[in-house]
Amino acid sequence: MTTIRSAICVRCPPRWLLLRVETDDGEIGWGEAIGDLHEEMEGALNAIGERVTGSSIHDITRIIEIQQKARFWRDGPVMDSALSALEMALWDLKGKQYGAPIHELMGGRVRERVRVYRNLWGRNPEEFANSAREAISQSMTAVKVSPAGPTQDVVSRAALNDMVEVVGAVREAVGPNVDLAIDLHGRLTPAASRRAVHALAPMDPFFIEEPCLPDGSASHIADLRALRTAQPIAIATGERLRSAHAFAQHLLPSPVVDIIQPDVSMVGGIRAAVEIGAMAAAAQVSMAPHCPYGPIQFAASMQVAAASPAHLIQEFQSLGGAGSGGGTPGGGQDWAFDLIAEPFSIVGGHVDVPTGAGLGIQVLEERIEEHMEMWNPHPPAVWTHEDGSHAEW
């Protein structure tokens, strides 16, 4: 029996929070939590690490269940993400002990390679278009753009024109054969999203993500279902959903959206994401997991993609790099150092499924300390409307 010797939170520039779990025989497993709510997340990761010290790495489900249910307060984004990171690290260790990638322990792979996309960076249509050209020069066949700024509850013609101008510039830059997704990031109300989807339809979006802010209510689900059935563009959501129950509400008995986007660092980890994918497959809905942080989260998402028939495409922020901002307006990625020994590479818009044991990566943890001056756990931007009132970011 292999037991946990230690489990500690590791800060990694620019703002990622990793969980390093070491066993009594010296093996190390890695997980990644959300790169936000830093003070709360660090405390939760270290507290959970202390509580699981001495546990067997083989009892993954039991460990997670005890940590989740053995106290009066059971959930919330901090607890959910900390347990997701722990689950990832335990699967990494278990795979290493058996000498197999995690997907082999979950029934084997259903694909050899995974299609990927990333967000574009820009402050105006020209910069977004240049970022798109850079992406397709790197062999990518799909990209995503976020064209909405602060948007009033009832959207103005000017705001719609600004969105159309950005997306139109990107579509012109990439041509008709590159899939172009649009992320409205929950910045719009249902009323505004209905107009925006109609206005953006001529650019032939691959999908439109988070057209309105999810609040978990029956009215939100009704709004999404109505938007989905009223027009032909695929609607995606799910990065803020934290439980299998929440996804079940969006999938069953009939789908609310066409694509679900669980975040492996939020929904409970790798197995939970695979199980959500199984629900999606049953509902004839595709899965495109959210992945805006580091290469450990990406490696875990790749294990989910390998084992999940419903998987459509995988978002990435980093294929291996770390240390600086990640992306430049009008350009591509800009990392200071490699966090993993062999970064993932894109060929023909796809990344090969890892075949190494566990997550299939080697973390160069000594590089983290060398670049800690780049640690910058900045919170999301705070947006306001012209009148000074709060605007969704």
Helix (H, G, I), strand (E, B) or coil at 260: strand
Confidence class for position 289, pLDDT limits 50, 70, 90 = very high
Structural domain includes residue 33:
no
pLDDT above 80 for 273: yes
Task: Examine residue 31 and state whether it is found in any structural domain, yes or no.
Answer: no
Would you mind telling me the total number of residues written for the chain in this entry? Answer: 393
Strands 259-260 and 390-391: unpaired
Alpha helix ranges (H) inside 187-321: 190-200, 218-230, 244-251, 270-282, 295-307
Residue 242 lies in a domain: yes
pLDDT band at 199 (very low <50, low <70, confident <90, very high): very high
- With the C-alpha atoms ordered 179, 323, 113, 97, is the resulting torsion angle positive or negative? negative
Name every residue whose Cβ is closer than 8 Å to that of residue 270 and which is 6 or more positions away in sequence: 87, 88, 91, 102, 106, 264, 300, 303, 304
* Separation of alpha carbons 198 and 169, rounded Å: 17
Q: CB-based burial of residue 312 (10 Å sphere; 0-12 exposed, 13-18 middle, 19+ buried)?
A: buried
Residue 285 belongs to a domain: yes
Amino acid at 135: A
Q: Give me the torsion for CA of 262, 107, 280, 295, rounded to 10°.
A: 20
Decide: 346 and 134 in contact? Cβ < 8 Å.
Answer: no
- Asked if pLDDT for residue 195 goes beyond 70, the answer is yes
Residue 53 is which amino acid?
T
- Kindly state the helix (H) or strand (E) to which residue 169 belongs, with its residue range: helix 157-174
Question: Would you say residue 155 lies in a domain?
Answer: yes
Within 8 A by CB and 6+ apart from 35, the residues are 15, 16, 17, 292, 293, 294, 377
Q: Is the pTM of this model over 0.95?
A: yes
Instruction: List, for residues 373-386, the tens digit of each pLDDT value.
Output: 999 998 888 999 99
| CATH number of the domain within which 140 lies | 3.20.20.120
Number of domains, the chain = 1
Q: Is residue 381 part of a domain?
A: no
Is residue 46 included in any domain, yes or no? no
Q: For the chain, give the longest Cα–Cα distance.
A: 64
What DSSP line would sit under 184-199, residue for residue? -TT-S-HHHHHHHHHH
Per the domain annotation, does 167 fall within a domain?
Answer: yes
Domain that holds residue 214: 104-358
pLDDT at 1 over 70: no
